[in-house]
Amino acid sequence: MITSFLAGAAAGFGIAIPVGAIAILIVETGLRRGFRLAAAAGLGAAGADGIYAFAAAAFGAALAGLLAPYETPLRVLAIVLLVAIALRGLLGASRAQRTPATDDGAAMPADVEAAERGGSVLRTFGAFLGLTLLNPVTVTYFAALILGLAGTGVGPAEKAAFVAGAFLASLSWQVLLAAVGAFLHRRLSPGLRVGVIVLGNTIVLLFAAVIAADLVA
């Protein structure tokens, strides 16, 4: 079981660590709205990795083949959502630049801010869970790993250990990204924070453009 857990952890880090649109959006969420919402975003992304790891462990390559016909519409939907999220972030940065005090919460009553943040946790979790689930490459990645790595085992306990390792590894990385964003949220000047938010969302738009270019190539 230990070998299966470590194999799962390696798989989780392997899919989570490469910088992509989700990673940038988690950092941007922490930068703009603090650790609580960024952690919810990270939990959503890690939850998607865990779901795909479970699907790969339970069904293997058959599930990857089942999703293959839907790869193009899934990518189109991912492009639309990434563009929408990036544009929303850019508009939010524009508003924050005009009213920097509100962005820090200084001009917002504490009870209003707490209610707004509390109501957004589940929405943020759901949004990042759904966006990460749209990536068909993830399930193919986990299916290939569980079929190709020696020592993951075929029994229920070994498969559960593999899934737990993948989920916890992904979650630890996503929470680290959330903490980095929240750290910068408290220490960057309002003007510099807006600049970083604009840069992050611009990079997300570039990721969407790369996906679109791959579709038409």
Residue 186 has pLDDT above 90, yes or no: no
* pLDDT value of position 26: 93
Give every CB contact of residue 176 below 8 A, 6+ residues apart in sequence: none
* pLDDT value of position 167: 94
* pLDDT value of position 112: 35
What 3-state DSSP class applies to 163? helix
Return the percentage of the chain with pLDDT > 90, whole number.
Answer: 24
* pLDDT value of position 140: 66
195: tokens are: 């600049």
Residue 216 has pLDDT above 70, yes or no: yes
Dihedral sign computed on CA atoms, order 74, 79, 80, 85: positive
Give the pLDDT confidence of 91-145 residue by residue, as tens digits. 877 766 665 443 443 333 444 344 445 558 999 999 999 988 887 667 667 666 6
* pLDDT value of position 203: 86
Residue 141 CA to residue 137 CA, distance in Å, equals 6
Asked if 34 and 203 touch (Cβ cutoff 8 Å), the reply is no
Asked if 158 and 4 touch (Cβ cutoff 8 Å), the reply is yes
* pLDDT value of position 60: 66
Give the pLDDT confidence of 31-77 residue by residue, as tens digits. 888 899 999 999 999 999 999 888 877 776 666 667 667 778 877 88
Q: Which of the 8 DSSP states describes residue 17? A: S
Long-range contacts of 15-18 (CB under 8 A, 24+ apart): 15/49, 15/138, 15/141, 15/142, 15/166, 15/170, 16/45, 16/46, 16/49, 16/169, 16/170, 16/173, 16/174, 17/173
- What mean pLDDT value characterizes the chain? 78
Q: What is the mean pLDDT of residues 148-156?
A: 60
Asked if 21 and 180 touch (Cβ cutoff 8 Å), the reply is no
Give every CB contact of residue 25 below 8 A, 6+ residues apart in sequence: 41, 85, 89, 128, 200, 204
Query: For residue 146, which of 66, 59, 45 has the smallest C-alpha distance?
Result: 59
Instruction: Please give the residue range of the domain that contains residue 105.
Output: 2-216
Return the percentage of the chain with pLDDT > 70, whole number.
Answer: 75
For residue 208, CA distances in Å to 45, 83, 85, 88, 150 come to: 18, 7, 11, 14, 35
Residue 54 CA to residue 7 CA, distance in Å, equals 14
* Total tally of structural domains belonging to the chain: 1
Q: Which position has the higher pLDDT, 105 or 175?
A: 175
